[in-house]
Amino acid sequence: MSYQKYINLKYKPSKDDLICTFKITPGKGVSKLRAIGAVAAESSTGTWTALSTMDEKKMLKIGAKVFEIKGKYVKIAYPYDLFELGNMPQILSSIAGNIFNMKEVKTLRLEDVKWPDKIIKSFKGPKFGIKGVRKIVGVKTRPLVGTIVKPKLGLNEVQHAKVAYEAWKGGIDIVKDDENLTSQPFNKFEKRVVETLKHRKLAEKITGEKKIYMPNVTAETNEMIKRAKFVKKNGGRYVMVDILTVGWSGVQTLRNANLGLVIHAHRAMHGALTRNKEHGISMLVIADIARLIGVDQIHIGTAVGKMEETPEEVIEIKNSITSGKMKSVFPVCSGGLHPGHVEQLVKMLGKDIIIQAGGGIHGHPLGTKDGAMAMRQAVDAVMKGIPVKKYAEKNLELKLALNKWK
């Protein structure tokens, strides 16, 4: 059965269809229609040759259907029967599996997925989301402010806890581990969690504010669950997980454990899939999948920091994970940020964001506490409708930060 039989521009998708938008460039010497049909066929019921086991009528009925072609952009509808509910690995093995390696395509990028209600309901989704996190922290409207303990590797458990304490004391809401700190010889997970949570309690007592610590539980799945339970046992409210390196099954296992912990999703390794605008998988798709499975917060980029992305991409991701029937995921902006970026971020993304700065706090001329104060002052300025530069005239910490990072 030819690949082109999977193209039906008269097809009207049903409410139960999963719809993918792909960006397709045909391989050398391959016609556009063959390349497009090959993607639809190979991601559903088709294969490269005729089969003795083939029932063409049935194959076409449950097979994917190309229903729109606009330049390089192609929309493909996948019937609900192709998928197992609640099984993200199986779904992705179909719509984002072998098709990326086919000779028929030179490049292929999965740009967007529209999920039918039947599939959405088969996943738990966020337990807390924006509203739940705000309730825990006790902050109703302003952007939350977070930091990452720096240096990311090298500090021992007590040093790590003290850096977190200084940040909390200066006004930071959230402190998290970095993506590659788990349980190294110089900084063991259990001791770090105990020490940092002890300092969190002290910071809460001194500041009168709720403070959050997000330990990185990323590990082999059984060990990850063990570490998450340890966090809960010791009074933690949050865990952080590197969603791509731990894998979707691992993330789902963590969510399904129902430990009552907020799940913060770090997107380490996403660039391997997302950076090439012609090939791979968009961050929009990754963020939507993470939301379905049930993370409460996720990194979406900044467009003004050190990471590569456009404002349009970041806004699209933010809008996607905060709209629809499922609870909204808290968008996290992180990567090369400092107090001078706060105005731009809030103007671009609104107030329902977490502004997370590492070097932009710990690199402050007067140290971590003053760096935290500067970041909080920048947020306060925006909330009061005062230009950050003007607010800095009466706030030394903010003034020093703006002078350093012009």
- Told to judge if 364 belongs to the known catalytic residues of this protein, a careful annotator would answer no
- Cβ atoms within 10 A of the Cβ of 336, count? 15
Q: Tokens for 38?
A: 């090959």
Written as six digits, the tokens of 118 are: 């039947």
The answer to whether the beta carbons of residues 62 and 56 sit under 8 Å apart is no
150 is catalytic: yes
Residue 328 is given by DSSP the state P
Helix (H) or strand (E) holding 121: none
What type of residue is 229? K
Q: Is 83 left (phi over 0), alpha (psi -120 to 50) or beta?
A: beta
Active-site residue identified among 23, 65, 75, 150: 150
Q: How far apart are CA 40 and CA 44, in angstroms?
A: 6
Angle between helices 342-349 and 311-321 (to 10 degrees): 60
DSSP label at residue 338 = -
Q: Which of 176, 266, 364, 369 is catalytic?
A: 266
Distance CA 247, CA 228 (A): 16
In the sheet that holds 18-26, the strands lie side by side as 65-70, 73-78, 18-26, 105-114, 280-281
CA 50 to chain centre: 41
Return d(Cα 285, Cα 266) in angstroms, integer: 15
Active site residues: 150, 266
